[in-house]
Structures are given as structure tokens and as C-alpha cells.
Amino acid sequence: MFNRKLLILCLSILALGYSCRPDSIGVTVDNFDHAAQALIDRDSLIDFLESHYYDDAIDSVKPLVTGATALINDVRLIEQEVTELEVDYKFYFLMKNEGTPVPDKGFPTVMDSVLVKYKGQYLFNTEDLIDFDERTVSPIWLTLNGVIRGWTYSFVNFKGGENITVPGNGPITYQNGGNGVLFLPSGLGYRNRGTLGIPGNANLMFYIELYDIVQDTDHDNDGVPSILEDPDGDGDPRNDDTDEDNIPNYLDFDDDGDGILTRDEGGVDGDPTNDFNDPNNPTLPDYLNPNYPNSGN
């Protein structure tokens, strides 16, 4: 019997991730000029990075003082560009520590679950930072497909740490996890609509610590890692819905809608991704093929 509560939770996460997409079901088309705002945000972020520095002694971003190195010139600052909803964005992150976990699980994918601590602030102008959210006492599990896109694109550059928690004695403790500071344009945050406590078009800054990840997170427990439920190959499994039932494959127990659960189309090894039994479609796996009901159990 399916865990319906889990499905409802996953669908709620999906709704959050899609809330600003103009093609979302039930969402009014947004005619705001996001491309123009992206250019404004780009200039605002550069101004901020030129007028602030990172004070390692107090682990904080501060207004630039004589003798300090501006963030824009800090060798640890990394710049990346992404395209989201057909708009080009530039974001930055200060890489304090990439993370050196034991054992090394590698970097999370854009669909993986992560255990994090963070503190969020929004840029009121090029000088002031306003606190809006934090999780700094105890870490929290989140999935990178269900957070703001700036987090999705940033966290894949960090690794988790090593769990040194003493069983039954003390709080959850990690060491050598990835940590840094994110500088995000509003288009990769809460966009022009804003959210509770954050105005629209606000650029964001986060202090983040990555404790752990779940490799190959499988949101629907169908035997296919969510990052692989991307038939169109665009790197975003959120927009793949093979049977067009308005449930993306990574949340769908039956991806092709043939009445057989995806996890039951995995053949003798239980892996649905390597069974191709339809001679008329030799490159289409059975779990995505509604005309070929089973893989030979």
C-alpha cells in the first residue's frame, strides 16, 4: 500500500518549486520583466560585493574597511551563470570549505536530499542586510528540488561532512562539511512576488553549512533515482511526465501509466532502468513504455 502522506508531502514540495513557473497548472501567467530585473540584480550584487568583505575572525560579511579585501576580489569567491525559465542569471558563492567527508559521497545532485544549517538575509540596499530566516541550532533535511533555485544551483558545489555523533549521547555532530556564503539574485530566490518577510525583487545572502547528503535520492521509492527520471535530458526532472497525468516521473509510482508500478518493471535485478524488452522500441526502457507492460518477472 502506498504511503499517501509521503506523496502529499512530495507534491507540496513540487508546488513550491513550481510556484513561479508561468506554465504551472493553476498559476496566473507572470508578465513581469524578469530579464530586465536580472540585469538590475546583477549590478546590485556587484555593488554589494565591491563594498563588503568577509571577516574570517567573526565569520561574517561586513562593510569594506581599509586594508580588507573586497568580496569581488576575494580568491574564494566563485561566479556562476545559469539559465532559468529562459532568463540568464549570475550568482556568486564564497567557498570557505568545499567539504572533505569520510566516506566521500561526492557532490549532491539537483534532486538530492541535504542536511543543512543556514542563516538567510536579504539585501535591503547595497549597504544593509535584513535577517529573515535561520536554522543554526540544529540541522534540517531539505530536498534540492524543493528549495529556491539559487540553493539548487549552489549546493551542488559543496560536499557533506563526516558524522561523528556519539550514538545515544549528545546532539548530531558533523565535521569537515562544506560551508560558505551564497549571494543570489532575486530571480533565483523569491522573484518579484517575494514571500513572508521578504519583499519582491530582493537579492539574498545565505551563510550555509552542508552536513550530509542522501545519494541518489528516490522521492517515490520506485527504484529509479530522481536525478535519472529525466527522459528529455535537460537536467531538470521536475518537468518530465511520461504518462501526462500531471505528476512528474520522480513522484509517480507508475511512470508510463500502464497499471504496473515502476518498481515492478525492474526485471530480475530490480533495476527498471536497464530493461528494454520491446523489439519495436529497443531503446525505450519498459518502465517508460506503456505498450510493454512488464520486464519479465
Average per-residue pLDDT in the chain? 87
pLDDT beyond 90 at 6: no
Specify the pLDDT at position 128: 84
C-alpha span between 276 and 272 (Å, rounded): 9
Confidence of residue 125 (pLDDT cuts 50, 70, 90): confident
- In the structure, how many helices (H) and strands (E) does the chain have? 3, 10
Q: Reply yes or no on whether the pLDDT at 296 is more than 60.
A: no
**Which tops the pLDDT comparison, 233 or 29?**
233
Using alpha carbons, list the distances in angstroms from residue 108 to 203, 217, 252.
24, 9, 22
Residue pLDDT, tens place only, 50-88: 999 999 999 999 999 999 999 999 999 999 999 999 999
Give the separation between CA 71 and CA 69, rounded to whole angstroms: 6
Q: What is the pLDDT of residues 135-144, one digit of tens each?
A: 988 899 999 9
Every domain range in the chain assigned CATH 3.10.50.40: 32-214
Angular region, 179: left φ>0, alpha ψ -120 to 50, beta rest = beta
What are 234-283's pLDDT values in tens digits? 999 999 999 999 999 999 999 999 999 999 988 888 899 998 988 988 89
- pLDDT band per the 50, 70, 90 thresholds, residue 29: low
Name the fold adopted by 32-214: Chitinase A; domain 3 (3.10.50)
User: The pTM is what?
Assistant: 0.84
pLDDT at 293: 64
CA distances to 44, 115, 258 from 204, rounded to whole Å, are 11, 20, 44
DSSP string, 215-254: TT--TT-SSS-GGG--TT-SS-GGG--TT-SSS-GGG-SS
Indicate the pLDDT class of residue 172, thresholds 50, 70 and 90: confident
Look at residue 3 in the predicted model and tell me its pLDDT. Answer: 47
Percentage of the chain exceeding pLDDT 70:
88
195-227, pLDDT tens digit by residue? Answer: 988 999 999 999 999 999 999 999 999 999 999
